[in-house]
Amino acid sequence: MQAATPIPTDVSYLEYKGKYKGIFSWIFSTDHKRIALLYLYSMMVMFLVGVLLGLAMKLELIAPGKTIMEAKDYNAVFTVHGVIMIFMIVVPGLPAVFGNFLLPIMIGAKDVAFPKLNLLSWYIYVLGALLVIASVLFGNGTPDTGWTFYAPYSFKTGTNLLPAIFGAFVLGFSSILTGLNFIVTIHRMRAPGMTWTKMPLFPWTLYGTGWIQLLATPVVGITLVLVSLERIFGIGVFDPALGGDPILYQHLFWIYSHPAVYIMILPAMGAISEIIPTFAQKHVFGYRAIVASTLAIAFVGYFVWGHHMFTAGMSGTAQYTFSLLTFLVAIPSAIKVFNWISTMHQGSIRLETPFYWAASFIFVFMIGGLSGLVLGSLATDVYVHDTAFVVAHFHFIVFGGVGFAFFGAIHYWFPKMFGRMYDKGLANTGWIVFFIGFLALYAPMFYLGMKGMPRRYYDYLPEFHAANILSTLGSWVMAFGLVIILINLFRSAKHGPKADKNPWNGKTLEWTVPSPPPVENFAETPVYGEKDGPYEYQ
Binding site for Cu ion (CB under 5 A): 258
Q: Nearer to Cu ion by C-beta: 136 or 329?
A: 329
- Give the one entry of ligand HEA, Cu ion, other proteins, none that residue 82 binds, where binding means its C-beta sits below a cut-off of 5 to 8 angstroms depending on kind: ligand HEA
Query: Secondary structure of 462-508 in the HEC alphabet?
Result: HHHHHHHHHHHHHHHHHHHHHHHHHHHHHHHHHHCCECCCCCCCCCC
* 456 scored as a contact of other proteins (CB under 8 A): yes
Cα Rg, the chain, nearest whole Å: 23
- Within 378-461, residue ranges assigned H as helices are 378-384, 388-394, 404-418, 424-451
Q: How far apart are CA 326 and CA 489, in angstroms?
A: 38
Burial of 19 (0-12, 13-18, 19+ CB in 10 A): exposed
Site for other proteins in 202-221 (CB under 8 A): 214-219, 221
* 366 scored as a contact of other proteins (CB under 8 A): yes
Q: Which of 199, 201, 390, 453 binds ligand HEA (CB under 6 A)?
A: 390
Q: How far is the CB of 350 from ligand HEA (least distance, A)?
A: 24
Is the preceding peptide bond at 516 cis, omega within 30 degrees of 0? Answer: yes
In the shown chain, the binding pattern of residues 423 to 452 toward other proteins, with x for contact by CB under 8 A and - for none, equals: ------------------------x--xxx
Q: How far apart are CA 46 and CA 130, in angstroms?
A: 10
What does each C-alpha distance from 98 to 40, 181, 364, 501 come to in angstroms?
9, 14, 22, 18
Q: How far apart are CA 370 and CA 388, in angstroms?
A: 16
* 222 scored as a contact of other proteins (CB under 8 A): yes
Q: Closest-CB residue for ligand HEA?
A: 369
Q: Which of 129, 201, 265, 298 binds ligand HEA (CB under 6 A)?
A: 265
Q: How far apart are CA 526 and CA 81, in angstroms?
A: 44
* 122 scored as a contact of ligand HEA (CB under 6 A): no
Q: Which of 126, 189, 330, 493 binds ligand HEA (CB under 6 A)?
A: 330
Site for ligand HEA in 184-243 (CB under 6 A): none
Site for other proteins in 43-82 (CB under 8 A): 71-72, 75
Site for ligand HEA in 143-172 (CB under 6 A): 146-148
In the shown chain, the binding pattern of residues 331 to 360 toward ligand HEA, with x for contact by CB under 6 A and - for none, equals: --xx--x-----------------------
Q: Which of 24, 28, 41, 196 binds other proteins (CB under 8 A)?
A: 196
In the shown chain, the binding pattern of residues 463 to 482 toward ligand HEA, with x for contact by CB under 6 A and - for none, equals: ------------x--xx--x
Strand, coil or helix: what is 69?
coil
Contacts of residue 395, defined as CB under 8 A and 6 or more positions apart, other chains included, come to: 368, 441, 442, 445
Q: In this structure, are residues 503 and 93 in contact, taking their beta carbons and an 8 Å threshold?
A: no
Residues near ligand HEA (CB under 6 A): 43-44, 47, 51, 54-55, 57-58, 61, 78-79, 81-82, 85-86, 89-90, 93, 146-148, 261, 264-265, 307-308, 326, 329-330, 333-334, 337, 366, 369-370, 372-373, 375-376, 381, 385-386, 390-391, 393-395, 397-399, 401-403, 406, 455-457, 475, 478-479, 482
